[in-house]
Structure 1
Amino acid sequence: MDHPVKRDHARFRKIIKGRVRDNLKKYVSGGEMPIPKGKGVFKVPMPQIETPRFKFGDKQQGGAGQGDGQPGDPVDGQQGDGKPGQGEVGDTEGNKELEVELTVEELASILGDELELPNIEPKGKKSLESTTNKYSSIGTVGPDSLKHYKRSYREALKRQVATGTYDSKNPVIIPIKSDMRYRSSNTTVEYENSAVVIYMMDVSGSMGDEQKEIVRTESFWINLWLKSQYKDIEIRYIIHDATAKEVEEEVFFKTRESGGTLISSALKLCREIIQSDYNSSEWNIYPFHFSDGDNWSTDDTKLCLDILDRDILPNSNVFCYGQVESRYGSGQFYKDLHTKYGTDNEGVILSKIKNKDAILDSIKEFLGKGK
């Protein structure tokens, strides 16, 4: 039977997860993200959970605090001057937020429940090797901490019965060294699916800070879901304007260039990364490209479609394109992809992200097929 404290703690965790889920859209659209604390744990800001309070009824019912009175009147025989209390008071509500800790699995569960996301069906073979030790057998040697007393006494009983030294009228069983048995572990090798996410982002002049913040928020929650689906994932970042280069995560979200845009430069680099580092028969590959839809020329768009058809789509679980609305972007690349692949292509998912309020809908579009 569970201890009452454990039941109360589990109930409290359930309440917390319910409150986080209720406020999920506010967190996401506000750009607020959980803070990593290490070992798969995140700190999440949330409104304080109020404790129950007594509420007084009508004054005719009697009881404490009832009757006529004015601010400043004496209470309980004390002397008063009939004036309201003096002093400075605030005119705004106090900060009632607190921080709670949730694991990757708990946050992913909240996201999955809210967006009704299906579990992903991995495409690649199980390639990541992991070993586990389970104490599922019995051995004749081992440390005292793993001594199996029941089995040891059974061996001692068998020995005494076999040698005729067991006395049923005085059933004393004394194990000797050869009777001792110990829990023994069996090492098993398991193979888990692994995944790589390749983020590509247009950092030309038309992609401002607001657009990058949308990409940063959306990629965080996408990563969170994928981490809950795969034992191990790797993440690569590509930025581009007219040329592309691979960068670290911090650089990815802070770089801004003033040049033109050649989307093919990012797709070429993505192709090189896949071909050199990720065998598609062993890896689940997720290329994501974010842009405001501007491209240098129709010739480059044709080159992009050719690279997608020949090299990226055949090797990926799904290719996701997110078009972040910008006052300077034409949105033409979305139209070109839509004309080529439509909305029913299993290998391509397109999403328009108008503003921060559209982030959750975009995540559902990308992850809702369970690819």
Structure 2
Amino acid sequence: MTQHIERDLQRFKHIVKGRVRENLRKYVTHGEMLGRKGRETVSIPVPNIEIPHFRHGKKGSGGAGQGEGEVGQSLGPGQEEDGEGQAGSGKGKHIREVEVSLDELAAMLGEELELPNIIPKGADALSSEKDRYNSIRQTGPDSLLHFKRTYKQALKRQIATGQYNKDNPVVIPTKDDARYKSWTTVSQPQANAAIIYIMDVSGSMGDEQKEIVRTEAFWIDTWLRTQYEGVQKRYVVHDAVAYEVDADTFFRVRESGGTRISSAYEKTHQILQRDFPVADWNIYIFQFSDGDNWGDDNRSCQAALTEYLLPVCNLFCYGQVESLYGSGEYIRELQRLGETWDNVSYSMIENKQGIYQSIKEFLGRGR
């Protein structure tokens, strides 16, 4: 009996994960789980799943093809439009919070977007083997006994067989109830990655644009952390002047000055020289802006990119987010560079629906 319960539970979990996979595009574009992010897992809201089952009607109540009726008459109870009708006692739709590990989420993202695995550059592209205690089995040494799983298994057995007494709730595990921690050996890259996020925080970048950047950065982080053993992140914001900030400030700060993108490139170059020697790190730069830049500054930007950023980057990605005032012309400067530099990627992100395609354009090269 307990084996059937466990099998049905695993089947249900598989169905739930399938529902998450089916709706991944919605989660990518809306960022619903960002506020539910833990250290290793994410809680994702999915509609409650009803397991198919037979339901018998009242005896003599008839059915399809029985009794009197008119052509086109409904065979079941109708549904009122949302927001109409009086208050009632009927049940509504329910939401289930499903915990999905970040690794599982990254695997879903990679499969859905057909992302190739990254081949790190340099001598750090070696792999090491590591044991992870990430599964449960029915045999093992006492030192690996999983007390919580064993107790739950014993409790389920006693309930299923009618041995459980709620007035005297004593649960005694048997040998068959014992559950032990088990491990799998996984290969992990030894290479490290440094991610530099750059964002224009001038007055034309509003809250909606920052939410787009925040959502896309979450998915970029989720993917890259599965490709490298160690990931370090730095954040640079700029208007006419650039500053290095922490993550919280990066997504919340707003300025009102002009725009000088070259100042952000200069600050990024300083960070790379200070913290990330090129020989030891795989460098990724992700820049987000509405495309407006001070007139003659484009020439300084091209010089900075070609002299000391593009030569050391695995990937330089530029996302142009459309603001309330439209989009500027800076993406055209990057398009010209992309003709001669194969590590330059760019995308137009008109709204949240554009996040999905932008991630594919950024990470689809496997660099």
For 2:115 and 2:207, the matched residues in 1 are separated by: 29
Q: Give the number of equivalent residue pairs.
A: 297
1:365 is aligned to 361
2:163 is aligned to none
Does structure 2 conserve the Cα–Cα contact (< 8 Å) formed by 1:203 and 1:240? yes
Deviation at 1:361, TM superposition (A): 0.3
TM-score, with length taken from structure 2: 0.72
2:62 is aligned to 66
Q: Which moved more, 1:312-321 or 1:14-23?
A: 14-23
Residues 1:313 and 2:280 aligned together: no
Aligned AA for 1:14?
H
Deviation at 1:275, TM superposition (A): 1.0
Deviation at 1:230, TM superposition (A): 1.2
Change (3 A) 1:90 1:284: farther
Does structure 2 conserve the Cα–Cα contact (< 8 Å) formed by 1:104 and 1:224? yes
Does structure 2 conserve the Cα–Cα contact (< 8 Å) formed by 1:207 and 1:292? yes
For 2:90 and 2:242, the matched residues in 1 are separated by: 49
SS at match of 1:123: coil
Change (3 A) 1:252 1:34: closer
Change (3 A) 1:315 1:324: same
SS at match of 1:281: coil
Does structure 2 conserve the Cα–Cα contact (< 8 Å) formed by 1:17 and 1:110? no
Change (3 A) 1:9 1:284: farther
Aligned AA for 1:322?
G
For 1:245 and 1:225, the matched residues in 2 are separated by: 26
Deviation at 1:100, TM superposition (A): 0.6
Change (3 A) 1:243 1:231: same
For 1:220 and 1:133, the matched residues in 2 are separated by: 27
Aligned AA for 2:233?
I
Does structure 1 conserve the Cα–Cα contact (< 8 Å) formed by 2:194 and 2:232? yes
- Consecutive unaligned residues of structure 1, counting only runs of 5 or more, are 70-87, 135-143, 147-189
Aligned AA for 2:356?
L
Residues 1:351 and 2:344 aligned together: no
Counting aligned pairs with the same residue, the percent is 51
Deviation at 1:240, TM superposition (A): 0.5
2:147 is aligned to none
Q: Which moved more, 1:352-361 or 1:38-47?
A: 38-47
Deviation at 1:5, TM superposition (A): 5.1
Change (3 A) 1:34 1:242: closer
Aligned AA for 2:116?
P
For 1:51 and 1:34, the matched residues in 2 are separated by: 29
- Consecutive unaligned residues of structure 2, counting only runs of 5 or more, are 69-85, 133-141, 145-187
Q: How does 1:180-329 map to 2 (within 5 A)?
A: 192-297=190-295, 299-329=296-326
For 2:302 and 2:48, the matched residues in 1 are separated by: 50
Deviation at 1:8, TM superposition (A): 3.8
Residues 1:30 and 2:45 aligned together: no
Deviations 1:308-345 (A, max 9, x none): 11111111101000000123244211011112323x74
Deviation at 1:246, TM superposition (A): 1.0
Aligned AA for 2:213?
V
Give the alignment's Cα RMSD to 1 decimal.
Answer: 3.3
Does structure 1 conserve the Cα–Cα contact (< 8 Å) formed by 2:286 and 2:316? yes
For 2:200 and 2:287, the matched residues in 1 are separated by: 8
TM-score, with length taken from structure 1: 0.72
Deviations 1:253-277 (A, max 9, x none): 1111110000011111111111111
Deviation at 1:89, TM superposition (A): 3.3
For 2:125 and 2:337, the matched residues in 1 are separated by: 34
Residues 1:45 and 2:33 aligned together: no
2:161 is aligned to none
For 2:237 and 2:243, the matched residues in 1 are separated by: 6
Does structure 2 conserve the Cα–Cα contact (< 8 Å) formed by 1:200 and 1:266? yes
For 1:255 and 1:241, the matched residues in 2 are separated by: 11
Change (3 A) 1:318 1:49: same
Deviation at 1:203, TM superposition (A): 0.4
Q: In the alignment, which of 110, 114, 117 is matched to residue 115 of structure 2?
A: 117
Change (3 A) 1:202 1:128: farther
For 2:282 and 2:36, the matched residues in 1 are separated by: 25
Change (3 A) 1:7 1:22: same
Deviation at 1:10, TM superposition (A): 3.9
For 2:293 and 2:51, the matched residues in 1 are separated by: 56
Does structure 2 conserve the Cα–Cα contact (< 8 Å) formed by 1:125 and 1:283? no
Deviation at 1:129, TM superposition (A): 11
SS at match of 2:252: coil
